[in-house]
Structure formats: structure tokens, C-alpha cells
A = this chain, B = another copy of it.
């Protein structure tokens, strides 16, 4: 079982806070309940469009959800080792440099 905080956990918590079955929210975001179940278990990640609908439905920040989704995608895609760590630092540096130059 997946134990650490995750997008799935967050979504499940939000849903349970409202006492709503998968069925209802799945319908709201136009997917099958089984897919939402998988999302809540971090077996699948929501698409951008699903994230948008979820953010709207739960009235929370899309950006916040997107951050977690990207982080999880990266974590599941690459091994948790120093190579990946170095790659992340480089990517970070490039974005920082890009954002820096964009302004002053």
C-alpha cells in the first residue's frame, strides 16, 4: 500500500470530506469511477483536463494539484538515485536562468 502523501490521497481526502462516492465525482469529471479509483490509489495520474475539473469541483488551486502531479510523474518515471538528482538540479538551474533572463 502507498503510504506517503500523494495526489491520490489528497483527492480521496477531499472526496471523503464530502461523503461522496467515486461515482459522483467521476461523473463530474467525465471519467469512469474505476479510473478515479486508480487515481486515488496513485495507480494513474490525472490528465491536465482532469486536474482542471477536479480543481474546479473541489474549489482548490489547479497549480497546487499540477505541482504534485508533475512531481509524481517524475518520481515514477526516473529512478530515485543521484543521477536523477543531478538531472533535476540541471533542469532547475535552466528554468531559473530562463525565468531570470525573462525579467531583469
Contacts and interface: CB of A to CB of B under 8 A. Distances in A.
Interface of A: 4, 63, 66-71, 74-75, 78, 80-92, 94-96, 98-99
A76 B33 CA distance: 32
A96 to B, nearest CB: 7
A55 B89 CA distance: 22
A99 B82 CA distance: 8
B81 A94 contact: no
A80 B95 contact: yes
Contacts of A71: 86-88, 90-91, 94
A99 B91 CA distance: 20
A95 B87 CA distance: 12
Kindly name the residue among A69, A70, A80, A96 whose own CB sees the greatest number of chain B CB atoms within 10 A: A70
